[in-house]
Structure 1
Amino acid sequence: MDPTQSTLLILAAAVFVVYRQMMTRPTARNGIVYVSAAMIVLGVFTGGLIDGDHLAVSLGLGAVEAVAAVIFGAIRAATVRVWMDEAGVTWSKATLLTLLAWLASLASRVGLYFAGAALGLPVTTSGLLFFIGLTIGTQALLVARRGRALSAATVRADNFVE
């Protein structure tokens, strides 16, 4: 597939994920974790993530991208509203701050892209797949963890006997 088409497809998937986050959703869902894992695997195995001609630079930039993806995923997870309803089901919904954090995440990825290009690294979609998969997965896992913490706190409170 043409790199431009791949990039547009990846960005369309990311926009869809952001759109879904803006809706009220249960925190206990595994589908998004599988999608993010698939994106990470595709990013690693399609090649181009590491440039053999510029090994140190590509490894360093890859590490910076991975750290940035995890940090932005954690920031966005902290901005998502998580609550429990009367039935004990935990829910989540992204906020305006989540959307702003997505924009900051995108800006950092664009900056890393241009930094790589300026350093002579080849332009591939592998890095984009890896970054988006890692950042979405981090956010999903942390939001689910917050939901489980709410459930556990309620169970402990219900079992407390005076």
Structure 2
Amino acid sequence: MTALSNVLIAVAVIVLVVGRQLRARRLDTERRFWLLPLVLAAVALRDPVLIDPNHQAAAALILAGSLVTTLGMGCAWGWTMRIWRDRDGALWTQGSTATVFAWVGAILIRAGWYGVGAALHVHQSSSVLMLSLGLLLLVRSTAVAWRARQLDGSKHTLAA
């Protein structure tokens, strides 16, 4: 895929996910929350220049650093989600103002990593964005599922 198509896919996913997260939604215990992150990661990992061949060590460190910070941002985002039980006992979730700030923070941090790469003259593939987005979504969904299980007291896998 081209860099432009990767960026457009990432933007579309972000708009879709943020829009859905800001509305109250019933938690779906049957949904495979890992599927979209897996598809994004698979597309990203097919890129032969995910790591800049001219600056392999620096590119690998930048990628690792960005993925570690993405893990943190995914956890933060998952904790900004409000989770509650309705009168019928169903679990619901909805993003808050903090959710929007978590997204803005994630975007700024991602831009910061691109800035570090540019300062070091390391080419960063747009596939890094897709890989980071997949990881962010996976971690957020896992955090929400864990929180929902704590509230629910059950062992079911839940995701928003």
- Scaled to the shorter chain, the TM-score interval is 0.7 to 0.9
1:120 aligns with 2:121: yes
- Return the offset for 1:29: 5.4
Identity between Structure 1 and Structure 2 (%): 27
RMSD: 1.6
Amino acid at match of 1:119: L
Q: Name 1:136's counterpart in structure 2.
A: 137
Over 3 Å counting, the alpha-carbon distance change for 1:70 and 1:30 in structure 2 is: farther
Larger Cα-atom Rg: 1
Greater mean deviation of Cα atoms: 63-72 or 110-119: 110-119
1: CA distance, partners of 2:129 / 2:30: 24
1: CA distance, partners of 2:33 / 2:20: 10
Q: Is the 8 A contact 1:80 1:92 kept in 2?
A: yes
- TM-score of the pair, normalised by structure 2: 0.87
Greater mean deviation of Cα atoms: 74-83 or 39-48: 39-48
CA deviation string 1:11-61 (max 9, x = no partner): 121111111111112333534421012112221222322123211111111
Q: Is the 8 A contact 1:80 1:143 kept in 2?
A: yes
Amino acid at match of 2:129: L
Which runs of 5 or more structure 2 residues have no equivalent in the other structure? Answer: 155-160
Q: Is the 8 A contact 1:49 1:127 kept in 2?
A: yes
1: CA distance, partners of 2:6 / 2:36: 16
Over 3 Å counting, the alpha-carbon distance change for 1:123 and 1:66 in structure 2 is: closer
- TM-score of the pair, normalised by structure 1: 0.86
1:21 aligns with 2:21: yes
Greater mean deviation of Cα atoms: 61-70 or 2-11: 2-11
2: CA distance, partners of 1:84 / 1:14: 27
- Return the offset for 1:123: 3.6
Greater mean deviation of Cα atoms: 38-47 or 63-72: 38-47
2: CA distance, partners of 1:93 / 1:85: 13
Q: Is the 8 A contact 2:70 2:106 kept in 1?
A: yes
Over 3 Å counting, the alpha-carbon distance change for 1:29 and 1:15 in structure 2 is: farther
Structure number having the greater helix percentage: 1
Greater mean deviation of Cα atoms: 104-113 or 30-39: 30-39
2: CA distance, partners of 1:34 / 1:82: 22
Q: Name 1:67's counterpart in structure 2.
A: 68
1:79 aligns with 2:80: yes
Q: Name 2:157's counterpart in structure 1.
A: none
> Where does structure 1 differ by over 6 angstroms across 4 or more consecutive aligned residues?
none
Q: Is the 8 A contact 1:40 1:129 kept in 2?
A: yes
